[in-house]
Each structure stands twice: as C-alpha cells, then as structure tokens.
C-alpha cells in the first residue's frame, strides 16, 4: 500500500476536482470551519471525519489510501467515467445521467 499523507491527499483531491474547501464541506456534510481548520492545520482527521470526506468525494476509504487499488473490477475507461461523475456537483449528476440515457435512446 502506498503511504498517503491525509491532509495533502485531501488537498490534491480538491485540486483534481477544482473544488473549494466550501464545496468539499457541502459535499461531505461537514461545516466549512471544520474543513478549513483541518486543512490549514497539521492535525489528522478522525476516522469519522475522513469517512465523511471520502463520501463527499464519492470514494471509499480504501480508495483514499490506495488510489490505484481496483476494488470493483472496472476497466480504466469505466473508472475514468466514474471519477468524472463523482467530481460533478449533485446538481449536475442528474444532467449527466440524462445525457447518457439520451445517447442510448432510453429517455
């Protein structure tokens, strides 16, 4: 397993998604002050907080600590689609689903 520094990794995941700390807080159900304090200090998040953050990112704790770990047997193309979908705000996820249904002609 790779050695992951949680605070740095959370910041990287925000950067990959072009998320502000406010977006992370909203997505994870944490207060903005909790997220801001966590990411601007050197304290490690509690397991409960980390679970909420992972949920906000749409990833498991296993995926957080080992991003290359394939837990679902998905192809690289499917994983990329899932990563892109998970990076969308909830308001845009329904649009993405409708678009894919439209492509399939199943609307």
Cα gap 10→16, rounded to integer Å: 10
- pTM of whole model > 0.85? no
Q: Can you say whether the dihedral through the CA atoms of 78, 6, 18, 35 is positive or negative? A: positive
Predicted confidence (pLDDT) per residue in 57-66, tens digit? 888 888 888 7
How many Cα atoms sit within 13 Å of 53 on the Cβ side? 29
88 vs 42, higher pLDDT: 88
Predicted confidence (pLDDT) per residue in 10-35, tens digit? 999 999 888 999 999 998 999 999 99
Nearest residue to 7 via CA among 33, 48, 37, 52: 37
Is residue 71 predicted with pLDDT exceeding 80? no
Within 10 angstroms of residue 23's Cβ, the number of other Cβ atoms is 16
Write down the pLDDT at residue 73.
66
């Amino acid at each position: 397993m790779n050695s992951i520094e949680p605070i740095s990794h959370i910041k990287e995941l925000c950067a990959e998604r072009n998320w502000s700390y406010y977006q992370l807080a909203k997505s994870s159900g944490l207060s903005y002050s909790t997220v801001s304090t966590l990411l601007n200090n050197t304290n490690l998040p509690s397991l409960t907080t980390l679970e909420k953050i992972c949920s906000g990112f749409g990833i498991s704790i296993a995926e957080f600590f080992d991003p290359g770990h394939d837990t679902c047997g998905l192809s690289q193309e499917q994983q990329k689609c899932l990563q892109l979908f998970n990076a969308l705000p909830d308001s845009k996820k329904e649009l993405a689903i409708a678009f894919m249904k439209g492509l399939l002609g199943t609307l």
